[in-house]
Structure 1
Amino acid sequence: MYRKPVKAKILIVDSHKSEHKLYAAALDPNFKCYFVDNIQDAWEILYKYPIQVIIADEMIEKTIGVDFLTQIQKQYPEVVRLMIADFKNMQLCLLGNVAGIYQFLYKPWRPDNLRLIVNNAVKIFNLQDKNKISPLDFKGDLSKRLIATVKPTKKQKNSYTGGTFDQLVRSEKSPLNVLCADVQKFSSYDIPILIYGESGTGKELFARAIHYYSARESKPLIVENCAALPDDLLESELFGHVKGAFTGAYNDKIGLLEQANGGTVFLDEIGDISPAFQVKLLRVLQEGTLRKLGGNRYISIDIRIISATNKDLKTEIKEGKFREDLFYRLAGVEFKIPPLRERKVDIPLICMNIIKQGNLLFDKNIVAIDDEAIQVLKGHKWTGNVRELQNEIQRAMIKSETDSLSIEDFSSNLKEG
């Protein structure tokens, strides 16, 4: 029996409702489109439907579009992100692309051009889903969520660089090697782990490795970015809610902690949760039970918590910003991931890995980086870590007209050090 193909789901976030008709005329025949004019509704759509591509205006209800898409990158890194901007602001958007945006379009955009770009974005999403490329290829962050990673076999996990650590590109002399070995040793012990590291250093990648090296590997691994949501939404996301708990709660929802029962929960940016929510999380971890938002029944859970932060939680405790009792519930053992500037020996390998993936994405055939450019890359401070490095390499690849990147292909910021 013939079945109609399922249309890709596209979310358009634009405060100008009059623009929605233009998007609909351009995209509706080929895609399933959802239109919202504010951030709150956008999050609700993302919770309800498996969105593949999101298109955001440069300004949304006093919110900068790049900031919103940065939150999307953290919460839903597999979603391909596009931005619409005025031509005069395009250069500013490109320079400030911390959201790993796949492509910018300037106003007034052409319907045929928009359809082509969205169609390509859907193809990229599908390549991720089929393990042809990593979802990191266009997001500006090699260390983020590895949705396409294949679960390691027992044989792989016994090798030194097996399992998900294979995705963490490093040399034989990398300072990460000892850290990876230590993490692997502690992974099999069912204790909470706290990971420190700057943004872009690979905290989530380590969390995934810990899960797959543990006895819980066959159970769910749930990832939540605590900085991406306000308290009420974070509570609903983690604990779940009952129908009628708040406006828009049309059905009961199973929280992520309950979904992860028997498995692992990775709470990223744990240092950003409010004092009020710290109390609620502490109670759940102490008692091993949770209560859905608006509910009155307690649910038992068995989960392992891995958390991560770029903040010094001990300093936060002294300043009264983080609960000491919650800290000790999270920090059974602590690991610190070194920033890229302390891993200069790894930079050439990371660059070539980015190029390999970028060749697929941009239909290029770049095979090398010249020595002068390598030395400049190794000498840069990389405050944005691998995310910043990938942005530089990808921009250089697009600019280059040869099969080798040279210093002329890189941005002036890099050349100036």
Structure 2
Amino acid sequence: MTALASRPALLVVDDEPRSVEVMARVLGEEFDVFTAASAAEARAVLEQEWVQAIFCDQRMPELSGVAFLTEVRERWPEIVRIIVTGYTEPEDMIGAINGAGIYQYVTKPWHPDQLLLVARNAAQLFALQRDHHRLSLELKLVAPVAQARVVSQREKVVRNFSFDTLIRTPQSPLNETCQRAAQAAVFDIPVLIQGETGTGKELLARAIHYSSLRSDCAFHAVNCGAIPDELLESELFGHKKGAFTGAHVTRVGLLDQADGGTILLDEIGDVSPAFQVKLLRFLQEGEIRPVGSNDAKRVNVRVLAATHRDLVQAVSAGKFREDLYYRLSAMVLAMPALRERKQDLRVLAAAILDSLCNQHGKAVKGFTEEALACIEAYDWPGNVRELQNEVLRMLVLAPGPELGADLLSPHVVRAAAADPMLAAITLPDSGPLKDRIERMEASILHETLVRCRWNKSRAAEELGLSRVGLRAKLDRYGIARDRTFARH
């Protein structure tokens, strides 16, 4: 379908040329009007043009108006349907109209003002349905936040998914990615986002959408790697009632729902070769064909894709189609892993903690310096998701107003003990057995002290040492609280 015109578009269907001419002239004062003399001609118009409402005569030779509008409901459910009748008592048509989901009927002879009023209401209903669908999606994304001033829902969404909400410092490697993404956002081109799981690829995709000219329309995301081919085809392209076992109703696919907007194909590198062909056909032709249907429908959707895989390597290995890769990658963006963003960890952890405090109603002051040093020392292979889980765990277990290093998982603390920045306990990884055992002992001592909040009596008891013996070992390895947790 073509993009929305400056005026709403209507379709008038009637086998009587004079009737079509008069209706088109009246409605043409405020609307762009397409006409058709049969159901077949009407289908051809609907496949090529963006129509918001249909006025259809009830009595036509090949197909009744109600039967045709029932068919329209199956293929184009968002279009507002109006029946025009002059041969049947309106009361006799109520059941048929309700069953076909027809918005209203107009009786002949009609008055021009009446016809225009019905058309205006139909166009308004179409716009309200679209806005309702978009807002329903956005409401799921925006948590209620106390506002100092009244702002619209749209302002909230755009603000919550702008590039500024991707937490980072001025020296972050994520800055370059966001800068390139902002440049690509205003151009209607496909973008491929690559990065490890949990790095925030979907957040970057949403920021691209809400910074683009399509921000007024819907954004949909689908995890292609988590759905079998058959279900993924139905999810994206839709299906007709009865197309397969369990298809009890007609389903509008996400590509159709995102018409005018953006769709994110997440984990695109995991789709099968067979489904890659179907995606390529859609990207080449701009058409979708619901499962169980022989009819194609044009949609105007911007496609963003994301993957944790190296697609160039997958293409070389014959696991991903080269032509599909180039269709998806007019611009390629890389999301850095958290281990490459050490300078962002403090501000990111603080932002996550603030959000979790609001979400769970538990207020704390923040992290101790020891805890932050441990967080910075760990590599976070699960990236932001792992960090979120760790901060949530600390918040739940926190007995006081601060989150200390003793609340961290043991493997995070061990990473801090092995951090090269702790020069006092950095001993060779190779060499004599004695040196390597000493390194291990120093690491165990440090980890135990962190868990015991540097209470040397508790640490000595846990390790089976006297307090004097523990002190001697700390002096030997040069382990001290102020030295061990020195800032970079």
Cross-structure match for 1:20: none
Distance 1:231 1:186 in 2: 30
Whole-Å Cα distance in 2 between the matches of residues 327 and 310 of structure 1? 14
Superposed CA offset, 1:140-181 (max 9, x none) = xxxxxxx999232xxx7xxxxx95223211112211122211
Whichever residue aligns with residue 361 of structure 2, its letter is D
Aligned residues: 271
Pairing 1:217-236 to 2, within 5 Å after superposition = 217-236=215-234
Distance 1:286 1:193 in 2: 16
| AA aligned opposite 2:380 | W
Structure 1 CA distance for aligned equivalents of residues 244 and 334 of structure 2 = 39
Quote the residue 2:466 is aligned against.
none
Determine the structure 2 residue equivalent to 1:298: 296
**Residue pair 2:192, 2:306 contacting (<8 A) in 1 also:** yes
Other-structure match for 2:191 = 193
- 1:151 corresponds to which residue? 157
Q: Do residues 386 (structure 1) and 384 (structure 2) align?
A: yes
Cα pair 1:219 1:262 within 8 Å, conserved: yes
Distance 2:155 2:263 in 1: 17
Task: Quote the residue 1:132 is aligned against.
Answer: 144
Contact kept? 1:171, 1:346, Cα under 8 Å: yes
The answer (yes or no) to whether the contact 1:224–1:267 under 8 Å persists in 2 is yes
Q: C-alpha deviations, 1:28-72, integer Å up to 9, x for none?
A: xxxxxxxxxxxxxxxxxxxxxxxxxxxxxxxxxxxxxxxxxxxxx
Q: Tell me, what secondary structure is at the counterpart of 1:413?
A: helix
Report what 1:408 is aligned to. Answer: 406
What percent of counterpart residues are identical? 45
Structure 2 residue 209 is matched with structure 1 residue 211: yes
CA distance 1:289–1:128, shift in 2 (3 Å)? closer
Alpha-carbon distance, 1:341 to partner: 0.8
| Counterpart in the other structure of 1:277 | 275
Residue number in structure 2 paired with 1:324 = 322
SS of the equivalent of 2:363 reads: coil
Shift of 1:369: 1.0
**Structure number having the greater helix percentage:** 2
Deviation at 1:372, TM superposition (A): 1.5
Match of 2:93 in 1: none
Instruction: Report the alpha carbon displacement of residue 240 of structure 1 after superposing the two structures with TM.
Output: 0.4
Q: Which amino acid aligns with 1:189?
A: F
Q: Based on CA coordinates, which of the two structures has the bigger radius of gyration?
A: 2
Q: Secondary structure at the match of 2:306?
A: strand
Q: CA deviation at 1:194?
A: 0.2
CA distance in 1, matches of 2:154, 2:337: 24
| Root mean square deviation, CA, Å | 2.1
Q: How far apart, in 2, do the equivalents of 1:260 and 1:180 lie? A: 24
* Offset, 1:286: 0.5
Aligned to 2:259: 261
After TM superposition, the structure 1 = structure 2 runs for residues 101-112 of structure 1, keeping only pairs within 5 Å, are none
Task: Give the letter aligned to residue 228 of structure 1.
Answer: A
In structure 2, runs of 5+ residues without a counterpart are: 1-138, 146-152, 416-488
Please give the alpha-carbon distance, in whole angstroms, between the structure 2 residues aligned to 1:266 and 1:318: 24
Give me the whole-angstrom Cα distance separating, in 1, the residues matched to 2:154 and 2:169.
23
Question: Which residue type is aligned with residue 364 of structure 1?
Answer: K
Q: Summarize the alignment of residues 9-408 of structure 1 with structure 2, pairs less than 5 Å apart.
A: 131-132=143-144, 150-152=156-158, 164-408=162-406
Deviations 1:1-48 (A, max 9, x none): xxxxxxxxxxxxxxxxxxxxxxxxxxxxxxxxxxxxxxxxxxxxxxxx
Unaligned runs of 5+ in 1: 1-126, 134-146, 157-161
Q: TM-score, normalised by structure 2?
A: 0.53
